[in-house]
Amino acid sequence: MTDAPFGERRFACPTCGETADHVWLNAYASPVANPDGVPLRIAGAGLEQLRANPQFPPEVRERKVAYWNRVNGGEVFLDRWAPVQTELFVAGMELSVCLACRATAVWLGGKRVYPAD
């Protein structure tokens, strides 16, 4: 973790290193939509099935595989999924997004926890 300036709008990005403006985001929660009630991950054999699925054009398959590789690798990033309405605010957790490289950082209790130092 770092002593980076929590709540500042301009600081050195922990990903690209550039001193840049950042956008701060609140975090909200919504129940997992997977029918099993657990987070969805496509990995291993499932990822290989996705890679070979003729239902999608090759460029779409590669984008989907790249997405799941990022998720499975522990990367935190913003993605458009489906509109969500929730009243559950995640108190004590904020995100910052670097306007230079678009990387996301996760902050807990005012301390950056992702990406790790």
User: Same domain for 44 and 70?
Assistant: yes
Distance in angstroms (rounded) separating the CA atoms of residues 31 and 2: 31
User: Same domain for 47 and 77?
Assistant: yes
Domain that holds residue 7: 1-30+88-117
Whether cis (ω within 30° of 0) applies to the bond prior to 83 is no
User: Same domain for 48 and 24?
Assistant: no
Provide the domain count of the chain. Answer: 2
User: Same domain for 103 and 65?
Assistant: no
What is the predicted pLDDT for the residue at 33? 84
User: Same domain for 19 and 3?
Assistant: yes
Q: pTM for the whole thing? A: 0.84
Distance in angstroms (rounded) separating the CA atoms of residues 56 and 68: 15
User: Same domain for 40 and 79?
Assistant: yes
What is the predicted pLDDT for the residue at 14? 95
User: Same domain for 9 and 22?
Assistant: yes
What is the predicted pLDDT for the residue at 56? 95
User: Please, what are the averages of pLDDT over each run of 10 residues along the chain (117 residues)?
Assistant: 75 96 95 89 96 95 96 94 86 97 96 93
User: Same domain for 79 and 106?
Assistant: no
What is the predicted pLDDT for the residue at 82? 74
Distance in angstroms (rounded) separating the CA atoms of residues 69 and 41: 10
User: Same domain for 55 and 79?
Assistant: yes
Distance of CA 96 to the CA centre of its chain: 11
